């Protein structure tokens, strides 16, 4: 490598694809507006992906959607809290520090509240997700 290229700062051209996938007004792949939105999208994908759904990552996901036919109960919420915490620590620990995770079952809904610290920006964020279980 030529010497004049060695000391150049590396530019990082990264596009954070928005979730769910769609196109922007210029008919290109839509990207998220900021990193915090992108991290929330990553958490949502992790929660609602069933293990075995991704071909090259068979252990990715929490399987919240696989609870569609499971009876809703406080025990189910506790089991899901442990599963979700383990998945977040495994897959997103390089981006966030999990501060608080609360999974509650109210009537036919499962509410998931994730409070986390974004490592790159130093900000605390909270994301709330809900799924309905019959």
pLDDT at 134: 59
Whether residue 8 is predicted with pLDDT greater than 50 in this model: the reply is: no
C-alpha 128/C-alpha 56 separation (Å) is 28
Whether residue 87 is predicted with pLDDT greater than 50 in this model: the reply is: yes
Distances (CA, A) of 112 to 23, 33, 75, 84, 108: 28, 24, 14, 9, 13
Whether residue 12 is predicted with pLDDT greater than 70 in this model: the reply is: no
Work out the pLDDT band at 53, boundaries 50, 70, 90.
confident
pTM of the model: 0.77
């Amino acid at each position: 490598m030529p010497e004049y290229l060695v000391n150049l700062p590396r530019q990082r051209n990264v596009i954070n694809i928005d979730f769910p996938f769609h196109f922007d007004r210029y008919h290109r792949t839509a990207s998220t507006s900021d990193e915090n939105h992108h991290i929330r999208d990553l958490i949502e994908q992790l929660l609602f992906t069933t293990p075995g759904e991704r071909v090259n990552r068979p252990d990715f996901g929490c399987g919240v959607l696989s609870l569609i036919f499971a009876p809703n109960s406080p025990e189910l919420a506790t089991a899901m809290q442990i599963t979700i915490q383990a998945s977040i620590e495994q897959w997103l620990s390089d981006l966030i520090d999990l501060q608080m995770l609360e999974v509650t079952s109210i009537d036919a809904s499962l509410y998931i509240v994730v409070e986390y610290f974004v490592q790159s920006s130093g900000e605390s964020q909270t994301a709330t997700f809900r799924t309905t279980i019959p």
